[in-house]
Amino acid sequence: MMRLSPLLLVCWLSVVSCDGDMPRASNQSTPPASGRAAAVTSPSPDTVPLGAHSADELVDAAMAVVAFLRGEAGFDRLGVADTVTLYLAPEAGGAPRTITRAMLRDPSNWIIRGPGPRPGRQGIAYSFVPSKGEAELTTRVGRHLKCLEYPLSSIDEELARFPHVGIRLAYGTGSCLQSHNFTLVFDPNEKPPTLIAAVYDQWEW
């Protein structure tokens, strides 16, 4: 049987001890590929604001809004507050627009404009209504989607306090430039989930 000298034994124990102190990565994963909805994992419900709702209830409410905007469902299926405020992502500028529930019955009113080129001139109109045609729909509770996932607090800390669902519709090859993105914000207390705000965003901003 081989015997270790006291010096070698001390060195060997030192190496083992150092190796045992090395930090270990846990739950590492490969970042999702751009535009691939299946590669992204939704956060667990206890890490996002849900209010009085379950995550499934919020997804169902968000999908009903999408179905209405795509002309696939009636307005009366939606939970909508008396007024809803529409926002543009800060990169696009423009002021929030508050519209009544009655006006929201017409999908053409789901628009918000960016700043005009000069005072008194209207800017580009951005519509929440998705393009026609086949699209891959992705919903994420408690996240803001701009092709990829972001915390809503990255663009609006106040809205991030409310239950919200990020929406992405990917067309064609599913590239970010072919995606339609917005986030729906709901009242934390009203049941069923009731829409109070929506934020429009684009990948190229």
8 lies in some domain: no
Domain count, the chain: 1
pLDDT confidence of residue 33: 35
pLDDT confidence of residue 121: 64
E strand or H helix that includes residue 61:
helix 55-69
pLDDT confidence of residue 11: 39
26 lies in some domain: no
pLDDT confidence of residue 178: 87
38 lies in some domain: no
pLDDT confidence of residue 118: 63
186 lies in some domain: yes
Strand pairing class (144-146; 179-186): unpaired
Written as six digits, the tokens of 62 are 């968000």
pLDDT less than 70: residues of the chain: 1-47, 116-121, 205
**Which amino acid is located at 126 in the chain?**
Y
Provide the residue range defining the domain that includes 155.
44-201
Written as six digits, the tokens of 175 are 């590239």
Written as six digits, the tokens of 92 are 């696009």
33 lies in some domain: no
13 lies in some domain: no
Q: Residue 24: which residues within 8 A CB-CB, separation 6 or more?
A: none
1 lies in some domain: no
Written as six digits, the tokens of 112 are 């918000």
d(CA 199, CA 166): 9
pLDDT confidence of residue 117: 64
pLDDT confidence of residue 6: 43
pLDDT confidence of residue 23: 29
- Name the nearest CA neighbour of 200 among 121, 145, 163: 145
pLDDT confidence of residue 205: 64
20 lies in some domain: no
Cite the DSSP H helix spans in 70-132. Answer: 101-104
